[in-house]
Chains A and B, each alone.
Chain A
Amino acid sequence: AQSVTQLGSHVSVSEGALVLLRCNYSSSVPPYLFWYVQYPNQGLQLLLKYTTGATLVKGINGFEAEFKKSETSFHLTKPSAHMSDAAEYFCAVSEDTGRRALTFGSGTRLQVQP
């Protein structure tokens, strides 16, 4: 069985500060890992994904994440927060077998203070 834990349901940063959103996963097979962003009353938009290869993955809007197998982590970072980054962020895992449905964490709400 696979699972995702997102540490911190709310994170608040100042505009221009580093953003760090934490994600740890559990999977019995090599996982595919994803970060999605959700704005109020909207669906989910993919920020970035890790499947195989380079462990540092770059995504849209200046976000990046690093897959660390030894730590079973896939933390999301952005060097400098922008007001438009305020949203809910979800980490998800998919095993490379079968249906490949996503298992999501409970989400982290990012607030950006001016």
Chain B
Amino acid sequence: DTGVSQNPRHKITKRGQNVTFRCDPISEHNRLYWYRQTLGQGPEFLTYFQNEAQLEKSRLLSDRFSAERPKGSFSTLEIQRTEQGDSAMYLCASSPGAGRSTEAFFGQGTRLTVV
């Protein structure tokens, strides 16, 4: 399968714990995005990488959130000291950086439940 892969698919954690999610984009895509989707809402942009450089972070991304993309390949999103309000689906997407196509390919998401 050459699509965007996210792990784990589901994560249940206790409030205050740290969690880390992984995203493996389509191999030739140099743009990688993280979105958060809460129940009944559309995805909201969190952050964006061009290769290994994190070029933009949304105001939604508090200091407890950190994302990395070492070597411009896979990416990780870590949430420290989780809160119940962090419960959501976290979606990763990738797209080719060149050309006029801006189509983003999404992974299946990681559903986080904070109890």
Residues of A within 8 A of B (CB): 4, 9, 32, 34, 36, 41-46, 49, 51-52, 90, 92, 94, 96, 99-107
Interface string of B26-56 (1 = CB under 8 A from A): 0000010101000011111100100000011
Interface string of B76-95 (1 = CB under 8 A from A): 00000000000000010101
Interface string of B81-112 (1 = CB under 8 A from A): 00000000001010100001111111111010
| A residues in contact with B93, CB < 8 Å | 44
| B residues in contact with A101, CB < 8 Å | 33, 45, 48, 56
| B residues in contact with A32, CB < 8 Å | 102
A99-B48, A100-B95, A101-B56 are known contacts. Are A44 and B43 too (CB-CB below 8 A)?
yes
Residues of B within 8 A of A (CB): 4, 6, 31, 33, 35, 40-45, 48, 55-56, 91, 93, 95, 100-109, 111
Structural contact, B43 and A99, CB atoms closer than 8 A: no
Structural contact, B103 and A90, CB atoms closer than 8 A: no
Choose among A46, A92, A100 the residue with the greatest number of B CB atoms under 10 Å from its CB.
A100
Nearest B-chain residue to A51, judged by Cβ: B100
Which among A41, A43, A105 is the interface contact of B42 at CB below 8 angstroms?
A105
Least CB distance, B9 to chain A, in whole angstroms: 8
A43-B108, A43-B109, A101-B56 are known contacts. Are A90 and B102 too (CB-CB below 8 A)?
no
Q: What are 24 A-B contacts defined by CB distance under 8 Å? A: A4-B42, A9-B40, A32-B102, A34-B103, A36-B106, A43-B4, A43-B91, A43-B109, A44-B106, A49-B102, A51-B100, A51-B101, A51-B102, A90-B42, A94-B102, A99-B31, A99-B48, A100-B95, A101-B33, A102-B33, A102-B43, A105-B42, A106-B42, A107-B40
Structural contact, A46 and B103, CB atoms closer than 8 A: yes
| A residues in contact with B41, CB < 8 Å | 106-107
Structural contact, A43 and B48, CB atoms closer than 8 A: no
- Kindly state the separation between the CA atoms of A103 and B45 in the bound complex, as whole angstroms: 7
Least CB distance, B25 to chain A, in whole angstroms: 13
Nearest A-chain residue to B42, judged by Cβ: A104
Structural contact, A100 and B106, CB atoms closer than 8 A: no
| A residues in contact with B42, CB < 8 Å | 4, 90, 92, 104-107
